[in-house]
Amino acid sequence: MTVWLLGDQLHPDATPLRSADHVLLVEAHAFAERRRYHPQKLTLVFSAMRHFRDDLRDRGYDVTYLRAETFGDALEEYFEANPGDDLVGMRSPSHGADEWRRRLVDERGGALTLVENDLFLTSRADFDAWAGVDASDDGESGTAVTDEGTAFRQEDWYRHVRRETGILMDGDDPVGGAWNYDEENRETPPPEWSPPDVPRFEPDGTTRGVQAFVAERYDDHWGDPSGFRWPVTREEALTAVDHFVSVRLSEFGDYQDAMRDGEWALCHSLLSAALNLGLLRPREVVDPAVAAYESGDAPLNSVEGFVRQVIGWREFVRHVYRRAMPELAEANQLGQTASLPPLYWDGETEMRCLSEAVGHVRKRGYAHHIERLMILANFALLYGVDPAELNEWFHLGFVDAYHWVTTPNVVGMGSFGTDVLSSKPYAASANYVDGMSDYCAACPYAKSETTGENACPFNALYWDFLKRHEETLRGTGRMGLMYSHVDRKDDAEWRAIRQRAEDLRTAAAEGEL
């Protein structure tokens, strides 16, 4: 029997490895051309796979490592050498991937058995039982609501996972008495604050070899190939966890929602890429964080905030994606149809927040959560971008992007293409950006103006967005306050807002924002 692991299943202790000594890994080069993936993403995946191969060989496994154009080509080669072999693998979180792999193997005369993916904390059965949804269709039903017809809610799921795992629990109660310290995650750093150190993992010979290959083969892809710094081995990933917990975790909570001019990482963990590759299991990042709280080295608002992201949000989006596909990928309840303006590709805009955030993605394939949600997705939402097109941009641009995690975040949370992840859109004007960052101070646009040449584009686009989608949004939970402001504007104000929004759309489409 041979274990076939995918490039995002690189854990040294993945369950199937315990009962086999032959491993198959496939680097599919044309597969990596489906979109113009960031060169650092491709370097990360291929380098991590090659390091994983070497580690397995050092541990005595017999590894067949195939480089091919497609998975089909690689399996052709594999089954020519190993006719009728039985393969065992772990399920993929990406929609349709399991059926596709089974078919590829079947067509070549082999058999593929897939076991539960143990790189997540919770199983499909756990979620389906909690949600009260019919698990008999194996989660491919396309329904993102419970059997009672109500949408899933992350906070309920998060509490359930805390109770089930005992993480940050004191008997039946949450440690500290509250489940959620979100209110204490909204500080901005004072001007004299200097951000803590960020680790850098210098490319070794293997990574440099991959970089050269990627530069040659994928020379038209989007993003800066230089300055690669991401952990590519298990050892480096564990070092990244240690570094985060000892250096940045204590301030993570306070500054979780903050943005600062010139700072790309602040106190974020930068662990998503390693988690999504399978180099780390969720508990391997959560347990050290909880230990830091227990030893008095990190405050509860930081540790709870971090734990919530990993065992709450990350697990939640994975399951909601599973239940909501395939409709989720095309969901567009607001009927938004605009194309992404060119500034998402070239970063050319006078808007300080947007040029910084796009610059971060281009340079490293990374921007932190608030830049993703409240700058990059928020602007596209107000501008009217088609959620599927925005999803493509996020998917190709980020080192941690995979269909299962990018799609719910972009189409659901960021674009409000559906309400499966949130009950209201994450739409905000310059007021929010200014409150959570110092970007506006360095920006030529006026944050408190709505109309006029110099007014911050976020403002007119925000009001215009609320007006355009009034029918869908007015009655939506928690939108009452926003619509009370809408109701206070007179016709003349609306005419000016509409005109300004139209001018901004034209300017952005022409690369003149």
- The smaller minimum CB distance to ligand FAD, of residues 222 and 306, is found at 306
- The smaller minimum CB distance to ligand FAD, of residues 406 and 429, is found at 406
66, 25 contact by CB (below 8 A): yes
- The smaller minimum CB distance to ligand FAD, of residues 317 and 443, is found at 317
- Judged by CB under 6 A, does residue 396 bind ligand FAD? no
Q: In what order do the strands lie in the sheet with 2-4?
A: 62-68, 22-28, 2-4, 86-90, 111-115
Binding range to ligand FAD, per CB under 6 A, among 213-221, 269-277, 289-297, 448-456: 269-277
Judged by CB under 6 A, the chain residues 414 through 453 that form the site for ligand FAD are 414
Instruction: Report residue 369 as tokens.
Output: 């959560």
The packing angle between helices 124-131 and 315-324, to 10°, is: 80
**In this structure, are strands 62-68 and 22-28 parallel, antiparallel, or unpaired?**
parallel
Q: What is the rounded CA–CA span in Å between residue 346 and residue 223?
A: 10
- The smaller minimum CB distance to ligand FAD, of residues 198 and 501, is found at 198
CB 170: neighbour CB atoms within 10 A?
10
In whole angstroms, the minimum distance from the beta carbon of 413 to ligand FAD comes to 5
Report angle CA 315, 316, 317 to the nearest 5 degrees.
95
In whole angstroms, the minimum distance from the beta carbon of 339 to ligand FAD comes to 18
159, 179 contact by CB (below 8 A): yes
In whole angstroms, the minimum distance from the beta carbon of 127 to ligand FAD comes to 15
**In this structure, are strands 22-28 and 2-4 parallel, antiparallel, or unpaired?**
parallel
- Judged by CB under 6 A, does residue 313 bind ligand FAD? yes
- Judged by CB under 6 A, does residue 406 bind ligand FAD? yes
Binding range to ligand FAD, per CB under 6 A, among 12-20, 310-318, 325-333, 467-475: 310-318
In whole angstroms, the minimum distance from the beta carbon of 273 to ligand FAD comes to 7
Per CB under 6 A, the list member of 14, 121, 270, 375 interacting with ligand FAD is 270
Binding-residue total with ligand FAD (CB under 6 A)? 28
Residue whose C-alpha is closest to residue 414's, from 353, 350, 331: 331
- Judged by CB under 6 A, does residue 317 bind ligand FAD? yes
Binding range to ligand FAD, per CB under 6 A, among 52-60, 69-77, 112-120, 401-409: 401-409
In whole angstroms, the minimum distance from the beta carbon of 314 to ligand FAD comes to 3
- Judged by CB under 6 A, does residue 298 bind ligand FAD? no
Per CB under 6 A, the list member of 74, 237, 289, 310 interacting with ligand FAD is 310
DSSP 404-451: HHHHIIIIIIIT-SSSSS-SS-----HHHHHHH-STGGG-SSBTT-SS
- Judged by CB under 6 A, does residue 391 bind ligand FAD? no
Q: What is the rounded CA–CA span in Å between residue 57 and residue 206?
A: 15
476 φ, ψ to 5°? -70, 145
Largest Cα separation within the chain, whole Å, is: 75
DSSP letter assigned to residue 150: P
500 φ, ψ to 5°? -65, -45
Judged by CB under 6 A, the chain residues 368 through 387 that form the site for ligand FAD are 368-369, 372-373, 377
Per CB under 6 A, the list member of 2, 47, 211, 276 interacting with ligand FAD is 276
Q: Which amino acid is at 168?
A: L
Binding range to ligand FAD, per CB under 6 A, among 55-63, 335-343, 392-400, 497-505: 392-400
- Judged by CB under 6 A, does residue 272 bind ligand FAD? yes
Q: Which spans of this chain sit near ligand FAD (rule: CB under 6 A)?
A: 268-272, 275-276, 306, 309-310, 313-314, 317, 368-369, 372-373, 377, 394, 398, 400-401, 405-406, 409-410, 413-414
